[in-house]
């Protein structure tokens, strides 16, 4: 890596351009088909008792490791941009894409140094594409890959490189005048080299740089869309399939929504179920088994029926409501009021307090409603079936009820899912297929997410400051109309709502059958005691998975063998079944997203807001390697000091700041920063809420009842 002033592109091999039509500008744009990467290093300190942050080193690379340079100021980087603009004759229609791993961070430091032609963001302060007047377009490789830089390096196939760790102490204050060691410069070089290698593999995978999607979810959207609307790799409609396209568009024309119905669906939508058994929380258990579903969301998309019509309002006074609830060819969404609600079982509660309103006199089980005098909520028929299984109630009143016609998803979507699942299964561990395996695995994990993308979103704009369009009734009407009439639409928002509802139903089938041995669940997995005692249930459930998949395959005329591809060892892997993950020597949970387990003598933790590696390391060191003491330490009011959490507090500084800063070597420099992000270590305290603690005490002392049975 050389200094930017000595950087030359004279020996750079000739680079071709590729053309792409841009919808935003309605013009053809040419892109240089080459990998480029950019990264910065920053310092955070205090200036006049105020948080202050600034960039002290930047690294840029193009093509490969032979063309990487570095500089120390933004002015130097702008000079490089001017050199690149001149060398490649860049402008708005002739661009060079430069990837940044976590662009939102770098953008906050650099945004006031450039003029921006267009910034595309997914949320406030989260740009994923930003075009400068130099013709340089910055893109986010983190959102594209979904991996940290270290994990990205591990998953490279044609290039072998590891992210350097510990060679640059971020706690030491450096300025642009601080001399950097060879080791520190190697660290900076390494980060950009990883980006270059990753984008090189992406170009090879997709054919050219214009075909690389902006986001990880974008990969699967394009793949499924091409299958549904029958596009080939050159993006031209295939010959002789006009009838299939017409029928698919006729389906989309039928699957439309009004603004009121969309708003109601948003109220209906719930994610995965994550919770701890009220019977076992805060207790240490030995020999705890773990089971999980094989690709839970993709499985329900294959095996279940989904809304295939516009919602039709019905008067529940004129129909047999419960007959409709139990009809697999009918889907319902409705508002309801439930009175006299009370838990049936002794171990778990289903209804989320955050999804209910007008709740009267409730007892709350860590965010879930254990009992109440009255509540109102918006749910699907699937949710109502679960509620009937786990609660008693005095009365339920239904209003604003809508009916959907239900059927299996279109064959093109089913085949797309089976293609991805098959590739993930058959390519795992196959030498030479690592890139394709990782790609298909990531796409399969994203296939559900594309179904619940919000139809109505406020536009995020950047013009020196961030601004988000306010969502008004007019905007909702406009975007819903655009959604309904789009000829490129291949998805229907209710599908995503029902995907998670079906997945919760499957998970709760396990929770209710496992009963008092159930300890913890998280979306697609269950931790339980006495695994062997529940083998009959697992066997029954898995056989029912096979039955349901066969029904779908028979209806859609799909080869059932696609549902059970073989691994490299020739073992069939049926999608959707319960898989045995293993047995933990010890397990303890303090609530949702808070658990610790011991496996093969090693402690592991999952605690929301705490680094898995750093948190465990501190606790093990604090307890001198005694795992028993570590489990005792994992309790209410667990405290992890800031230097051990692995987490930072991000403070956005939007105003220009300047002043004298002394680096860790004692050298003082005058620093100006137009905008920045200050990072500081944050501590972590795990505390059980007062409300949850009261619930557990009442439960322990016998003040809570389930059904007619005293706990």
Helix, strand, coil tally for the chain in percent (to 5): 40, 30, 30
Higher pLDDT, 710 or 579: 579
Could you count the other beta carbons within 10 Å of the beta carbon of residue 279?
17
pLDDT value, residue 698: 81
Output the pTM of the full model: 0.91
Average pLDDT value for the chain: 92
**pLDDT by residue (tens digit) across 269-304?**
999 999 999 999 999 999 999 999 999 999 999 999
Q: Which of 148-152, 514-518, 666-670 has the lowest mean pLDDT?
A: 148-152
- For 190, how many CA atoms within 13 A lie in the half-sphere containing its CB? 19
Q: Which two tokens stand for residue 603?
A: 């402690």
Is residue 164 scored above 80 in pLDDT?
no
Tokens coding 103: 């662009």
H/E stretch holding 415 reads helix 411-427
pLDDT of residue 610: 85
Given pLDDT bands bounded at 50, 70 and 90, which one contains residue 558? very high
Residue 652 to residue 679: CA distance in whole angstroms: 9
354-396 pLDDT tens trace: 999 999 999 999 999 999 999 999 999 999 999 999 999 999 9
Report, as an integer, the average pLDDT of 50-68: 95
H or E segment and range at residue 141: helix 141-145
Report DSSP state, residue 534.
Answer: G
Question: How far is Cα of residue 198 from the mean position of the Cα atoms in its chain?
Answer: 20
Q: Is 601 exposed, middle or buried (0-12, 13-18, 19+ CB in 10 A)?
A: exposed
Structural tokens at position 143: 């959102």
* pLDDT average, residue stretch 544-556: 98
User: What are the pLDDT digits (tens) for 300-354?
Assistant: 999 999 999 999 999 998 999 999 999 999 999 999 999 999 999 889 999 999 9
pLDDT digits (tens, 9 = 90+) for 500-544: 999 999 999 999 999 999 999 999 999 999 999 999 999 999 999
Evaluate if residue 710 carries a pLDDT over 60: no
Q: How many CB atoms lie within 10 A of CB 642?
A: 14
Look at residue 708 in the predicted model and tell me its pLDDT: 45
Burial grade of 585 (CB within 10 A; 0-12, 13-18, 19 or more): middle
What is the chain's length? Answer: 711
pLDDT of residue 644: 86
Residue 619 has pLDDT above 50, yes or no: yes
Q: Determine the pLDDT at residue 230.
A: 75
According to DSSP, the residues that pair with 710 across neighbouring strands are: 705
What's the confidence (pLDDT) of residue 337?
A: 97
Question: How far apart are alpha carbons 589 and 282 in whole angstroms?
Answer: 6
| Per-residue pLDDT, 706 | 56
- Residue 707: predicted pLDDT: 52
- What pLDDT digit, counting tens, does each position of 411-440 carry? 999 999 999 999 999 988 887 777 678 778
Confidence of residue 236 (pLDDT cuts 50, 70, 90): very low
The per-residue pLDDT for 205 is: 85
């Amino acid at each position: 890596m050389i200094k930017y002033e000595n950087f030359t592109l004279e020996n750079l091999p000739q680079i071709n351009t590729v053309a792409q039509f841009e919808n935003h500008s309605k013009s053809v744009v040419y892109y240089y088909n080459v990998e480029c990467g950019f990264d910065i290093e920053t310092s955070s300190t205090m200036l006049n008792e105020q948080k202050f942050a600034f960039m002290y080193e930047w690294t840029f690379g193009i093509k490969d490791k032979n063309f990487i340079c570095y500089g120390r100021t933004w002015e130097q980087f702008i000079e490089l941009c001017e050199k690149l603009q001149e060398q490649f004759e860049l402008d708005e229609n002739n661009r060079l894409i430069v990837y940044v791993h976590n662009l939102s961070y770098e953008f906050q430091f650099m945004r006031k140094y450039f003029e921006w032609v267009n910034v595309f963001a997914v949320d406030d302060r989260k740009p994923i594409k930003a075009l400068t007047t130099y013709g340089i377009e910055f893109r986010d490789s983190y959102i594209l890959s979904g991996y940290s830089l270290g994990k990205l390096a591990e998953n490279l196939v044609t290039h072998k490189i590891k992210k350097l760790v510990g060679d640059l102490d971020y706690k030491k204050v450096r300025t642009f005048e601080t001399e950097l060691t060879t080791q520190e410069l190697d660290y900076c070089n390494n980060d950009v080299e990883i980006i270059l290698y990753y984008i090189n593999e992406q170009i090879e995978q997709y054919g050219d740089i214009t075909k690389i999607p902006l986001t990880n979810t974008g990969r699967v959207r394009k793949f499924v869309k091409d299958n549904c609307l029958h596009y080939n790799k050159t993006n031209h409609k295939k010959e002789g399939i006009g009838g299939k396209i017409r029928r698919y568009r006729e389906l989309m024309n039928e699957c439309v929504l009004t603004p009121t119905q969309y708003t109601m669906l948003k109220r209906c939508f719930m994610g995965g179920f994550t919770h701890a058994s009220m019977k076992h929380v805060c207790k240490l258990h030995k020999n705890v088994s773990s089971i999980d579903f094989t690709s839970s969301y993709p499985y329900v998309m294959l095996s279940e029926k989904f809304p295939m019509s516009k919602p039709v309002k019905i008067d529940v006074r004129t129909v047999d409501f419960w007959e409709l609830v139990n009809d697999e060819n009918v889907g319902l969404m409705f508002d309801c009021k439930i009175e006299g609600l009370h838990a049936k079982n002794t171990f778990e509660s289903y209804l989320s307090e955050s999804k209910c309103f007008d709740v009267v006199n409730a007892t709350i089980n860590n965010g879930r409603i254990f009992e109440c005098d009255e509540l109102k909520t918006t749910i699907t028929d699937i949710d109502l079936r679960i509620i009937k299984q786990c609660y008693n109630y005095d009365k339920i009143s239904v209003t604003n009820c809508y009916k959907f016609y239900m059927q299996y998803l279109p064959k093109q979507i089913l085949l797309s899912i089976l293609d991805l699942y098959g590739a993930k299964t058959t390519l795992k561990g196959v030498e030479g297929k690592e890139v394709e395996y990782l790609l298909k695995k990531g796409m399969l994990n994203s296939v559900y997410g594309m179904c619940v993308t919000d139809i109505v979103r406020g536009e995020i704009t950047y013009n020196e400051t961030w601004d988000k369009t306010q969502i008004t009734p007019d905007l909702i009407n406009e975007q819903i109309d655009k959604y309904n009439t789009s000829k490129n639409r291949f998805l229907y928002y209710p599908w995503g709502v029902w995907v998670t509802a079906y997945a919760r139903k499957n998970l709760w089938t396990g929770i209710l059958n496992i009963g008092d041995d159930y300890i913890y669940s998280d979306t697609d997995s269950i931790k339980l005691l006495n695994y062997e005692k529940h083998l009959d249930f697992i066997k029954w459930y898995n056989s029912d998975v096979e039955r349901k998949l066969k029904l779908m395959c028979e209806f859609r005329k799909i080869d059932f063998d696609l549902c059970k591809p073989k691994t490299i060892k020739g073992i069939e892997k049926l999608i959707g079944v319960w898989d045995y993950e293993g047995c933990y020597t010890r397990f303890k949970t303090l609530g949702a997203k808070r658990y610790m387990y011991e496996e093969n003598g090693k402690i592991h933790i999952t605690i929301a807001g705490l680094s898995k590696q750093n948190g465990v390391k501190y606790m093990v060191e604090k307890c001198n390697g005694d795992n028993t003491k570590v489990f005792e330490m994992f309790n209410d009011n667990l405290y992890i000091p800031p230097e051990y959490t692995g987490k930072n507090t991000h403070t956005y500084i939007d105003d220009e700041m300047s002043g004298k800063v002394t680096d860790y070597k004692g050298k003082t420099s005058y620093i100006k920063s137009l905008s920045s992000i200050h990072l500081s270590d944050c501590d972590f305290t795990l505390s059980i809420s007062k409300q949850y603690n009261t619930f557990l005490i009442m439960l322990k002392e016998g003040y809570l009842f389930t059904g007619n049975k005293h706990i």
